Homo-oligomer: A and B are copies of this chain.
Amino acid sequence: MIIHTIEELREKIKEWKKQNMTVGLVPTMGALHNGHLSLIKKSVEKCDKTVVSVFVNPIQFCPGEDLEKYPRTLEADEKLCSDAGVDIVFAPSPKEMYGEGHILSNDFLTYVIPPFFYTNKLCGKSRVGHFDGVCTVVNKLFNIVQPDFAFFGEKDRQQLIILKKMVKDLNIPVEIIPCPIVREESGLALSSRNKYLSDEDKKYALALSQILFNIKACYNKGITDVKALTETAYSYLNEHHSLEYLEFRDADDLEEKKIADDNTIVFIALKISDVRLIDNIALK
């Protein structure tokens, strides 16, 4: 069942809460793939009722990013959700979420701003304001749906860490459930942006997971020096790759690591033919 308005959704949720049902929320921007499906399945399994939100959130796109051309496939998304046992697909318009009559800026909108120490690195460095938009919309969705559990993929690991921090800092009564990255057989992490890749680009895109798997293998063999581990990456890169970052950071607070340990995440971002791809791996 698809719902477009906040009011209608709230009424449904109210009914469920009255019956003491638990509610799971899977926030998405649509263009659903098997990665999303794994989150959805987890929610359907764990919760009495599951809401999947499908909303391409304008305020988390930075100037020059792909807001207009971001894939929108609502009909297919709805089908995937109903096949998976989702109770409600919540697909509001930008107007429903942010009103109209003024520009979407912090001049006229209340924002939820995650801490600078968490956002001034990795993806936050090139996507200034991105995580402000993410936290604001997720906060709104939490207030609208009032879920018991919310499901986020480890693919966007920095986002996951920032949202966990938001929940803790603002005492939000929601438990965040992290879900493992889903990969193609080749190793490529699923992403809605993979649709932008040509067949040839997709081959180059394997470098991300190969670099991460190789680093993990080296770590498992006992190499912990981050400099040495980083150097293992370069043989996978060629002129088709524009590396943005390859960094070793703490799984909880994103502090930089000089020596890798079991609480380390390796983060990578690179561009292929102007398509920006990210991936990460936990060394534990």
Contacts and interface: CB of A to CB of B under 8 A. Distances in A.
Interface of A: 6, 10, 106-117, 135-136, 139-140, 143-144, 146, 165-166, 169-173
A173 B143 CA distance: 6
Contacts of A135: 110
Contact of A171 (B109, B114, B140): B140
A238 B136 CA distance: 47
A110 B116 CA distance: 9
18 contacts: A10-B173, A106-B113, A106-B115, A106-B116, A107-B116, A110-B112, A110-B113, A110-B115, A110-B169, A111-B112, A112-B112, A136-B170, A139-B170, A140-B169, A140-B171, A143-B171, A144-B171, A146-B173
Contacts of A144: 171
Contacts of A169: 109-110, 140
A91 to B, nearest CB: 16
Top 4 A-B residue pairs of the complex, sorted by shortest distance between their CB atoms: A110-B169, A143-B171, A110-B166, A107-B116
Given A110-B114, A136-B170, 11 more contacts: A6-B171, A10-B173, A108-B117, A110-B135, A110-B165, A110-B166, A111-B113, A113-B113, A143-B170, A143-B172, A143-B173
Chain copies in complex: 2
A263 B172 CA distance: 35
A198 B115 CA distance: 42
Nearest to A143: B171
A117 B107 contact: yes
Contacts of A117: 107-108
A112 B171 CA distance: 12
Nearest to A110: B169
Contacts of A6: 171
Nearest to A145: B171
A143 B146 CA distance: 10
Contact of A107 (B115, B146, B170): B115
A166 B146 CA distance: 17
Contacts of A136: 170
A27 B59 CA distance: 31
A186 B160 CA distance: 56
A116 B106 CA distance: 6
Which of A113, A146, A170 lies at the interface centre, i.e. has the most chain B CB atoms within 10 A of its CB? A170
